[in-house]
Amino acid sequence: MAGEVSLKKRSKLCRQESSKSGKDSEIGCERHTATSSNNQDKTRSGVRVYKIVVLGDGGVGKSAVTLQFVSHSFLDYHDPTIEDSYQQQAVIDGEPALLDILDTAGQVEFTAMRDQYMRCGEGFLICYSVTDRHSFQEALEYRKLIQKVRASEDTPLVLVGNKFDLQMQRKVTTEEGSC
C-alpha cells in the first residue's frame, strides 16, 4: 500500500457532496461525517484520513513538491495554482492511511482562503525557495499565522527549502533554514 498512488484532483474551494445516506458533506476543506469524532475522519473502509496543507509564496514550488510526492514526477512547467487536492495512500504508525493533500495558492489575491485552510489542516508543509529571501521570511509569517488561527503550538509542521539545485542563486543559508 505504501507505494500506491491514488490521485484525486479538485480545483474548487467550496464543493458540497452528499452521500446516498445524506450524512456526509464536504464544504471547503472540512469533511463532516456523522460517525467522526475528535477531527479524526475515516474513509468508508475505515482508513484514517490526514489533512495536509501545503503553504508558501507563489513560485516557490509548492505544486512541484506535492506532485513529486504523489506521482514521483517533476514538473518542468506549471500554471499557478488556485487550489488542487491530491490523495496519497500511506502507512502511518503501522496503519494504512490516506493523506488528503491540499496544494494552495501563493498569490496575494487568494489570501482570504488561507484562514480556512489553516483551521481544517492537521499538518502543514510550509515551502520557501532558497533563492528568494522574501519567501523565507513569509514562511516564518505562515508559521505565526497557523499558530494564531489554530490557537495551538503543537500543530505538526515541516519547513521545506525548495529549489536546492540552484545553489549559485541561493539567498537563504542552510543554517537559516534549519532553525
Q: What is the tens place of the pLDDT at every residue in 11-61?
A: 333 222 223 333 332 334 443 332 333 445 566 578 899 999 999 988 888
Q: What CATH number does the domain containing 83 carry?
A: 3.40.50.300
Q: Per the domain annotation, does 4 fall within a domain?
A: no
In terms of pLDDT, which residue wins out, 25 or 108?
108
Sign of the C-alpha dihedral computed for residues 153, 156, 162 and 167 taken in this order: positive
* 137 sits in which H/E element: helix 133-150
The per-residue pLDDT for 19 is 30
Region 84-111 average pLDDT: 82
* 99 sits in which H/E element: strand 95-104
Q: Per the domain annotation, does 57 fall within a domain?
A: yes
The per-residue pLDDT for 171 is 92
Q: Per the domain annotation, does 30 fall within a domain?
A: yes
Q: Per the domain annotation, does 40 fall within a domain?
A: yes
Q: Which domain holds residue 162?
A: 25-177
Q: Does the pLDDT of residue 1 top 80, yes or no?
A: no
Residue listed under C-alpha cell 549559485? 168
The per-residue pLDDT for 71 is 83
Q: Per the domain annotation, does 59 fall within a domain?
A: yes
End-to-end CA distance of the chain: 34
Q: Where are the alpha helices (DSSP H) in 29-132?
A: 62-71, 114-120
Region 56-82 average pLDDT: 79
pLDDT tens per residue, range 149-178: 887 778 899 999 989 889 899 898 888 888
Region 63-70 average pLDDT: 85
The whole-angstrom separation of Cα 145 and Cα 143 is: 5
The per-residue pLDDT for 23 is 32
Q: Per the domain annotation, does 5 fall within a domain?
A: no
Label residue 109 by pLDDT band (50, 70, 90): low
Report how many domains make up the chain.
Answer: 1
Q: Per the domain annotation, does 19 fall within a domain?
A: no
pLDDT tens per residue, range 119-158: 888 899 999 999 999 999 999 998 888 888 887 778 899 9
The per-residue pLDDT for 94 is 92
Q: Per the domain annotation, does 8 fall within a domain?
A: no
